[in-house]
């Protein structure tokens, strides 16, 4: 961000930020659509293996993995550290998934999309009319 701010003129940057926010506002209003004709994806490795790999790739390099690597190297106890961080993530993730499954049919997604779009639009307008920092 600092590098871009150094090479892009403040007025151009202001418009880029505002236009990006307006684009996100428009995108937030568009509901996700499932393709009814698409065949479900299958894998010879099973759902667990696919989920495990997808989760690892999505989370690779996040703070939890960095902290796990640092703790394991600091204390020289790879298995207990990995087991502890995995257990900690499961303690948080399992109730979250269960709650999401319960709440999914009760969440007013249209209202949430409208609120998110309005927030992005407000940030875009604010970006246009506020002085650039620095």
| pLDDT of the residue at 77 | 87
pLDDT above 90 for 4: no
Per-residue pLDDT band for 134 (boundaries 50, 70, 90) equals low
- Quick: pLDDT tens for 71-109: 888 888 889 988 998 898 889 888 998 898 888 888 898
**Average pLDDT value for residue range 113-129:** 95
Per-residue pLDDT band for 34 (boundaries 50, 70, 90) equals low
Q: CA–CA separation, 99 vs 106, rounded Å? A: 11
13-17, 27-31, 66-70, 92-96 — which is least confidently predicted? Answer: 66-70
Other C-beta atoms within 10 Å of 27: how many? Answer: 12
**Token representation of residue 127:** 């970006």
15-19, 102-106, 129-133 — which is least confidently predicted? Answer: 129-133
Distance of CA 126 to the CA centre of its chain: 24
């Amino acid at each position: 961000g600092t590098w871009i701010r150094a090479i892009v003129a403040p007025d151009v940057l202001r418009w880029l930020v505002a236009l990006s926010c307006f684009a996100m506002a428009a995108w937030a209003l568009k509901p996700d659509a499932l393709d009814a004709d698409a065949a479900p994806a299958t894998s010879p490795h099973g759902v667990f293996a696919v989920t495990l790999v997808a989760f690892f790739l999505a989370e690779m390099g996040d703070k939890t993995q960095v902290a796990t690597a640092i703790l394991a190297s600091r204390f020289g106890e790879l298995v207990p550290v990995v087991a502890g961080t995995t257990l900690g993530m499961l303690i948080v993730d399992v109730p979250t998934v269960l709650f999401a499954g319960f709440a999914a049919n009760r969440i007013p997604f249209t209202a949430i999309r409208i609120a998110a779009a309005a927030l992005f639009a407000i940030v875009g307008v604010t970006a246009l009319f506020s002085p650039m920092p620095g």
